[in-house]
């Protein structure tokens, strides 16, 4: 193995294998496609797209990395894209965030989940709050943010920042996904689509 291959960030490769292991039909997309622009500002880097070929509302995943510094470890985000036909205006944009409330800051056990939302996200956030599977998902995996999008992408994005590890080197640690968690992510996606139809 070459040095470049050894230090290459393999977060996308590792997550692709985990999705394949739970039976999803997916593939690593070629690099440089337009989907890599989803939530990819200039100070972050897309590690590439995983396309979902199975019949789920989540159609692809963009994995974004922010390079760290001396006192700022690197961070990774997974953006699960949920395209829809309906295009929402900026005035109707939905923005919902999970807040993992811990028994002790940083290292404590998650004791409950609170959902913060903008004025358009109240109804959807209430559904998340009442759903034990959705709350268990963010307890197990990490913080979730749901946004409706417009302009270059019509639909929703489910942002997941997996629980961070102090021992990250070249790739993200603590990245896992089982079929129950995958189905719950798609439950979130379906609730988003239904909410858009009700609006």
Span 169-181, mean pLDDT?
A: 75
pTM, entire model: 0.88
Q: How far apart are CA 59 and CA 154, in angstroms?
A: 13
Higher pLDDT, 186 or 38: 186
Contact assessment for residue 134 and residue 116, using Cβ atoms and an 8 Å cutoff: no
The rounded mean pLDDT for the chain is 85
Question: What is the pLDDT confidence band of residue 37, given thresholds at 50, 70 and 90?
Answer: confident
What whole-number distance in Å separates Cα of residue 39 and Cα of residue 179? Answer: 25
Question: Domain limits of the chain?
Answer: 3-198
Q: 149 pLDDT band (50/70/90 cuts)? A: confident
Q: Is the pLDDT of residue 106 over 70?
A: no
Model confidence at 1: pLDDT above 70:
no
Here the tokens at position 113 are: 């989940």
Contact 172, 76 (CB under 8 A): yes
């Amino acid at each position: 193995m070459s040095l470049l291959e050894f230090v290459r960030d393999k977060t996308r490769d590792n997550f692709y294998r985990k999705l394949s292991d739970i039976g999803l039909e997916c593939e690593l997309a070629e690099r440089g496609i337009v989907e890599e622009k989803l939530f990819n500002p200039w100070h972050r880097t897309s590690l590439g797209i995983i396309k979902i070929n199975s019949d789920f509302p989540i159609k692809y995943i963009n994995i974004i990395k922010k390079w760290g510094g001396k006192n700022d470890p690197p961070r990774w985000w997974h953006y699960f894209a949920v395209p829809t036909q309906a295009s929402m205006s900026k005035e109707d944009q939905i923005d919902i965030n999970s807040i993992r409330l811990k028994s002790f800051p940083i290292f404590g056990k998650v004791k409950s989940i609170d959902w913060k939302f903008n004025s358009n996200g109240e109804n959807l956030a209430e559904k998340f709050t009442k759903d034990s599977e959705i709350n268990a998902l963010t307890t197990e995996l990490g913080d979730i943010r749901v946004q409706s999008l417009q302009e270059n992408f019509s639909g929703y994005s489910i942002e997941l920042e997996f629980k961070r590890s102090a021992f990250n080197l070249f790739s993200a640690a603590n990245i896992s996904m089982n079929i129950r968690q995958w189905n719950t992510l798609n439950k979130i996606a379906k609730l988003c689509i239904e909410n858009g139809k009700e609006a």
